[in-house]
Amino acid sequence: MKNSVLIHGGAGSPSSMSIILEGILNKIEYDDDPLNVAVNSVVSMEDDPAFNAGTGSVPRLDGTIQMDAAVMSDGNFGSVICIENVKNPVLVARDVMLNSPHIILSGDGAVKFARLMGYDYYDPHTEKSRNMIRKFYSESFNGNVPAIFNRKKSGDTVGAVARINNKFAAAVSTGGSFPMLRGRVGDSPLIGAGIYSGPNGAVVATGIGEEIAKKLLSYKIYSKIKTDSLENIVKNEVNSFRTSCGIIAITDDEYIAYSNTDMAYAYKEF
Task: Name the residues annotated as catalytic.
Answer: 157
**Does residue 186 have a known ligand-binding role?**
yes
**Does residue 187 have a known ligand-binding role?**
yes
**Does residue 159 have a known ligand-binding role?**
no
**Using only C-alpha atoms, what is the Rg of the chain?**
17
**Does residue 194 have a known ligand-binding role?**
no
**Does residue 111 have a known ligand-binding role?**
no
**Does residue 209 have a known ligand-binding role?**
yes
- Among candidate residues 43, 41, 38, the one with its CA nearest the CA of residue 54: 43
Binding residues are 184-187, 206-209
Residues making up the annotated binding site for substrate are 184-187, 206-209
